[in-house]
Structure 1
Amino acid sequence: MALNDKLRQLPSVSELLAQANGLVEAEGHARVVHALREVLDRARRAIHNGAPPPSRDELIATARALLQSLSLERLPTVVNATGVIIHTNLGRAPLSRSAQEAMMKVGRDYSPLEFDMTIGERGRRGEAVEQLLCQLTGAEAALVVNNCAAATVLMLATVAAGKGVVISRGQLVEIGGGFRIPEIMAQSGARLIEVGTTNRTRLSDYEQAIREAEGHAPGVGAILHVHSSNFLMIGFVEAAPIADLVRLGEQFSVPVLDDLGSGALVDTSQFGLRREPMPQDSLRAGVAMVTFSGDKLLGGPQAGIMLGQREWIERCRRHPLARAFRADKFTLAGLSATLLHYARGEAHREVPVIRMLAMSKADITRRATQMAAQIAGWLRENGLRAELVDGVSTVGGGALPGETLPTTLIALASNARSPGEILAALRARGVIARISNDRVMLDLRTVLDDDELARRLCST
């Protein structure tokens, strides 16, 4: 059949609408028209590539699936069987049950977001969460904004707008999604002063830059230390410790700012990992402010957390950008519930990220053995073989690069299907896995509910 004849077989939008009454009633006329036009465009492209014309039922079914994928209220959940604990592409940290419930409660009803219940007058947004952060870390003051990039911009704009900020060349990092320190600094109005080399920056390099700027407007507004969250430098390297930077800053009356990126409130070395820098360490060293994320190693909702000396935090709070960057009621409710787990000493049990970090290989092996037996029927029906093999899980989310945790993997293979085809079949059931050594691997370290994984695989 000629190409034009195939294209003429495609129905018009009006013809499809007449057959899709139920879909129009459920989704609305305008949305359905947009979806039908999209699927018809896709069909034309497919026909040009040699595909046969789809039927009207197929076109309407594709439009229905497209509408569902575009509807946020129907955004599907997935089972993370990759073994990457803080998986940025899968939404980073899963929340504790308490955090989920807290966020649902403030969405269901009114909440005292900016109301002081004790005196019956207007209160400060986020005050209770900020007090909890100070209790946990020893900070003089705290401020919560909507993400860590915003916290960094606000910090720099408050302290050093129009002035120079001294930073090591080895810390001019890009941390995914276009977050690049030089560009963030430019947006804040601060001027970048690079010191040292990529691999070696000494304290004397910072001192020289400050001395050279003395007496020359606009001068140096801050020293910025940035943790290289998502990469490692090894070999011939040198970096000035944060405590030494603080002493240098005190000598010249220049505040030191610390961007940790993924801040941990617990010592990660207890899990057999390298010790991730903690905001408590920076505060004890005497930094003016430290910033980190709420949805990485902390295990809460997306947020930017700012801790530090009261004078500087209050200046940030009064800055015009603070309102643009402020956290909403859902973030504050979820973060409060997450922080309470730490305050009560139950984070290892209740915060999913911490629980996954603490999970033993023996426990994962036991679960993997049970899972392999539970899905044995599905494996046979699909011509798959399963074997338990040793492997590693990773932290992810720009935290602890190169660090791994021992795990037991369920390795899937087939004589008839490639690993890519198996991976696609799993995705169709909402299960995200990974390929290693030409086999599909399921890592239960990051699976929150084993029964849910089995149900998705075995459902018809």
Structure 2
Amino acid sequence: MNKQKLLASIPAINDFLAAKKAEKIIKKYSRARFLKILRKELEEIREMILTEGVEIAQKKLEVSEVLNSVLKKLESEEEKGVKKVINAGGVILHTNLGRSLLAENALKKVEEVAGGYSTLEFDLESGSRGYRYNRIKQLLKDLTGAESAVVVNNNAAAVMLVLSSISEAKEVIIARGEMVEIGGSFRVPEVMESSGAILKEVGSTNKVYLKDYLDAVSEKTGALLKVHTSNYRIQGFTHSVSAEEMVEAAHQHDLPVIEDLGSGILFDLSKYGLPGEPTVQEGIAAGIDILTFSGDKLLGGPQSGIIVGRDKYISQIEQHPLMRALRVDKMTLAALEETLKLYYNLEEALQKIPTLRLLTEKTKNVRNRAEKLKSKIETPAGVNLKIIESEAKVGGGAYPLSTFKSYALAVDTGNLSTDKFVYRLRQLKTPVIARIQAGEAIFDLKTIPEKQLDQLAFSINKILAEVF
């Protein structure tokens, strides 16, 4: 059959709409989506016919065959977007996988306020409009020792808002070694530029002294900025200026000190085997005027940028026009409030906030989960399993030089491509994210809770059965 006859044999849109199968597809996915994919499918068929040297089977032009293809594409499209995954990669705060896991009480509160009306901006005492940040402000004041606080949608936004409010069109002095990239190619100098502040860098990459800051101070100076290098370290021949030194010098010139603490943490984790990290409370105690940090990293809450500090500056920030553009919604506030409430009892926080629980968990518990997972795997001929020691990471730009001793299940797939095996796991309805090491598929149990063991075992068994 020549090309013209093939083109003429393509069924009309009404032929497809008249089919019983089309009716079912439309009921599930809507007429608009059905027609969009159908027209695209027919256009592809026309292109195939018109392409030199391409032959197309007559069967492919039948209404039922075209509808089968349309259905598959709609099903595939439906599976795209944000979905739950099983993180067997061993990175606790995996930025690409959504960072911190919310505590159960935070999840319940989100469901409660999202599914109904709430007191987001309503004062029950007066019966009139309230302020959405009142409760979060009190919680952060109690927990950090700051005079005031406010929250925006992430830490980059927090830094930009602070600089816009306090130092727009003024110079902000920062050490060269602290001009970090915070992920996704967003860099502190670019955030500063977007805020309207003027970057004034001092010192060298590895050394900065108080004199460097003081020599840069002029009538054009708006603030001194300190950025905690939470996602990398400069080691060896180095020198930095402490928060206390910066504060004392800056206040002599009536200038504020701003600190971007990055991942942020409310208490010292060093007794759990992690290196010491500056806490939010220490920054406030040192006299830092405005301090910003993330809510969805070491704090263990939802994505947010938390700003704490002196009331005179927080009030300025709250009045800035950008504040409304960057404010958080009811679900974020609900989750953050419930997370912060747990910090009044540290032992409770360690147990109920998943990020803290994973960071402080005993290694023997991870080993036990690895053994349980191994016992649930049905091993085909040619596949070998073993429990190995592994190194889990914090991730999320926190503790860049630290790893945890962990345990993992290593799967040697023999003649089967490990890449293919791991790829197939990612294509499941609930994808499994594993890593490849020395040619084996590695399932690190540090990031697998007990309640996910059966589902993970089922997923591994399913793919092994399909490919062997």
Deviations 1:343-380 (CA, angstroms, capped at 9, x unpaired) = 233111111111111112111111110111012x2x32
Determine the structure 2 residue equivalent to 1:336: 337
- Work out the CA distance in 2 between the residues paired with 1:287 and 1:410: 46
- Work out the CA distance in 2 between the residues paired with 1:366 and 1:444: 9
Residues 241 and 67 of structure 1: is their aligned pair in 2 closer, same or farther, counting only changes over 3 Å? same
- Work out the CA distance in 1 between the residues paired with 2:319 and 2:167: 15
- Work out the CA distance in 2 between the residues paired with 1:284 and 1:367: 41
Q: Which has the higher mean CA deviation after the structures are superposed, 242-251 or 387-396?
A: 242-251
Pairing 1:83–2:90 present: yes
Residues 295 and 44 of structure 1: is their aligned pair in 2 closer, same or farther, counting only changes over 3 Å? farther
Structure 1 residue 89: Cα displacement? 0.8
Q: Given residue 320 of structure 1, which amino acid in structure 2 is its aligned partner? A: P
Determine the structure 1 residue equivalent to 2:361: 359
Structure 1 residue 92: Cα displacement? 1.0
Contact 2:22–2:67 (CA under 8 A) maintained in structure 1: no
Q: Which of residues 127, 147, 170 is equivalent to 1:120?
A: 127
Residues 414 and 311 of structure 1: is their aligned pair in 2 closer, same or farther, counting only changes over 3 Å? same
- Work out the CA distance in 1 between the residues paired with 2:295 and 2:54: 49
Structure 1 residue 40: Cα displacement? 6.5
- Work out the CA distance in 1 between the residues paired with 2:7 and 2:440: 41
Q: Which has the higher mean CA deviation after the structures are superposed, 50-59 or 141-150?
A: 50-59
Determine the structure 1 residue equivalent to 2:237: 236
Contact 1:11–1:56 (CA under 8 A) maintained in structure 2: no
Determine the structure 1 residue equivalent to 2:268: 267
Determine the structure 2 residue equivalent to 1:148: 155
Determine the structure 2 residue equivalent to 1:65: 75
Pairing 1:380–2:380 present: yes
Deviations 1:311-345 (CA, angstroms, capped at 9, x unpaired) = 11111111111111111100000001111111233
Name structure 1 gaps, 5 residues minimum: none
Contact 1:283–1:308 (CA under 8 A) maintained in structure 2: yes
Contact 2:89–2:434 (CA under 8 A) maintained in structure 1: yes
Across the two proteins, how many residue pairs are aligned to each other? 448
- Work out the CA distance in 2 between the residues paired with 1:417 and 1:92: 32
- Work out the CA distance in 1 between the residues paired with 2:4 and 2:401: 55
Q: Given residue 445 of structure 1, which amino acid in structure 2 is its aligned partner? A: K
Structure 1 residue 51: Cα displacement? 11
Structure 1 residue 450: Cα displacement? 2.0
Deviations 1:283-305 (CA, angstroms, capped at 9, x unpaired) = 01101110011111111111110
Secondary structure at the aligned position of 2:420 is classed as helix
Residues 220 and 10 of structure 1: is their aligned pair in 2 closer, same or farther, counting only changes over 3 Å? farther
Give the TM-score, by structure 1 length: 0.90
Secondary structure at the aligned position of 2:79 is classed as helix
> Which structure's CA Rg is the greater one?
2
- Work out the CA distance in 1 between the residues paired with 2:43 and 2:279: 52
Pairing 1:252–2:253 present: yes
Q: Which has the higher mean CA deviation after the structures are superposed, 3-12 or 445-454?
A: 3-12
Q: Which has the higher mean CA deviation after the structures are superposed, 5-14 or 260-269?
A: 5-14
- Work out the CA distance in 1 between the residues paired with 2:274 and 2:45: 50
- Work out the CA distance in 2 between the residues paired with 1:344 and 1:141: 21
Determine the structure 1 residue equivalent to 2:459: 456
- Work out the CA distance in 1 between the residues paired with 2:185 and 2:281: 28
- Work out the CA distance in 1 between the residues paired with 2:277 and 2:47: 50
Q: Given residue 30 of structure 1, which amino acid in structure 2 is its aligned partner? A: A
Structure 1 residue 80: Cα displacement? 0.6
Q: Given residue 440 of structure 1, which amino acid in structure 2 is its aligned partner? A: A
Secondary structure at the aligned position of 2:441 is classed as strand
Contact 1:175–1:229 (CA under 8 A) maintained in structure 2: no
Structure 1 residue 45: Cα displacement? 9.4
Q: Which of residues 135, 144, 150 is equivalent to 2:142?
A: 135
Structure 1 residue 9: Cα displacement? 9.5
Percent identity of paired positions between Structure 1 and Structure 2:
39
Determine the structure 2 residue equivalent to 1:304: 305
- Work out the CA distance in 2 between the residues paired with 1:50 and 1:92: 47
Determine the structure 1 residue equivalent to 2:446: 445
Determine the structure 1 residue equivalent to 2:211: 204
Determine the structure 2 residue equivalent to 1:400: 399
Determine the structure 2 residue equivalent to 1:433: 434
Contact 1:39–1:62 (CA under 8 A) maintained in structure 2: no
Determine the structure 1 residue equivalent to 2:420: 421
- Work out the CA distance in 2 between the residues paired with 1:357 and 1:411: 22
Deviations 1:363-421 (CA, angstroms, capped at 9, x unpaired) = 1111110111012x2x328x532110111100111111121000011001111212211
Q: Given residue 360 of structure 1, which amino acid in structure 2 is its aligned partner? A: K
Q: Which of residues 102, 109, 115 is equivalent to 1:108?
A: 115
Secondary structure at the aligned position of 1:403 is classed as strand
Contact 2:34–2:70 (CA under 8 A) maintained in structure 1: no
Q: Which has the higher mean CA deviation after the structures are superposed, 320-329 or 112-121?
A: 112-121
Structure 1 residue 276: Cα displacement? 2.3
Deviations 1:163-196 (CA, angstroms, capped at 9, x unpaired) = 1000111111111123211111111111110111
Deviations 1:130-186 (CA, angstroms, capped at 9, x unpaired) = 211111111111101111111111100111001100011111111112321111111
- Work out the CA distance in 2 between the residues paired with 1:105 and 1:51: 58
